[in-house]
Amino acid sequence: MLIDPTGRRMSGKWIGFGKDFDVNTGPWELVFQDSSTTKATLDKYNRRPQEPEE
């Protein structure tokens, strides 16, 4: 896991194991978006994540 010096972004790589003991990996990222907790802001970000492109 890497944390940006400003503390507003983290990124890394996940690892998992499949049914046949195959190893799965992939990148992840967590980015600070907004410090507001108003209803309008919460509604703005209350959505399903985008499907990854293949």
> Global pTM?
0.56
Do residues 11 and 1 make contact, with C-beta atoms less than 8 angstroms apart? yes
Token pair of 38 as six digits: 């108003």
Cα separation, 10 vs 2, in Å, equals 6
Give the pLDDT confidence score for residue 16 in this predicted structure. Answer: 94
Tell me if residue 41 falls in helix, strand or coil. helix
Place of tokens 């907004």: 34
pLDDT along the chain (54 residues), means of 10: 92 92 93 91 88 74
